[in-house]
Structure 1
């Protein structure tokens, strides 16, 4: 279904949101370990919105015994959090497809393809024009 691969007990998946891309590897473990960009003390982990977006999946499935290593690049903090969450969901669905209805009801499976529209020639922004002068 998703492009995930399994190697030595680890499940690898990647996902994106806007311009950010996240690569996640996940495996079962005795305790919960979450590492971003090979740094345990990352600034993003202390942001409450980032923590809510990425950790809400584990509260839904009521299972916290995972070891997760995420490598994320590009975009802002919120889009990086959504990209990590989507990649983690892909890994979890590879482990257990029975949690699919729970995740689908909360819109965690669907991808958001919206990106910023490009700036056009002769305009200030993508759609905003310069002020028109009659005389």
Structure 2
């Protein structure tokens, strides 16, 4: 259903949330490993909300023997976390379609298409305009 690619035991998928783009590769492993970008200079692992959003998928399906490598750029930390989660879900659905009802019940499969509205010409922001003077 999703655009995923399987090569040498790895499953590849990508996902977007606002302006954040995540590319994820997943394979089975003896223990759980999640690597995001370059862990030496990133602060993704320190953020509790980021960790909750990304790890909650594996807690939900009750199976943690995966090795996950994610490359994410653009957007903020929360958008990046949701993009990574959606890409991981795409990979997991490619590996096992039996977990679809559980993920769908928790609304992990749906994508969010909302984007920032563009700035209009002659306005201060997208909707805010200059003060109107009657005289």
- Provide structure 2 residue ranges, at least 5 long, that are not aligned to the other structure: none
User: Hey, what's the Cα distance between the residues in 1 that align with 2:107 and 2:40?
Assistant: 29
User: Hey, what's the Cα distance between the residues in 2 that align with 1:111 and 1:18?
Assistant: 10
The 5 A counterparts of 1:1-135 are: 1-39=1-39, 42-135=42-135
> Aligned-residue CA RMSD in angstroms?
1.0
| Offset of residue 46 of structure 1 | 1.3
| Offset of residue 32 of structure 1 | 0.6
User: Hey, what's the Cα distance between the residues in 2 that align with 1:41 and 1:92?
Assistant: 28
Aligned length: 135
Aligned-partner SS, 2:44 = helix
Deviation string 1:95-125 (CA, Å, 9 cap, x unpaired) is: 1000000000011000000000000001111
TM superposition score normalised by structure 2:
0.97
User: Hey, what's the Cα distance between the residues in 2 that align with 1:116 and 1:41?
Assistant: 28
TM superposition score normalised by structure 1:
0.97
Give every structure 1 segment of 4 or more consecutive aligned residues whose post-TM-superposition deviation is greater than 3 Å. Answer: none
Deviation string 1:17-44 (CA, Å, 9 cap, x unpaired) is: 0000000000000001110113267311
| Offset of residue 128 of structure 1 | 1.1
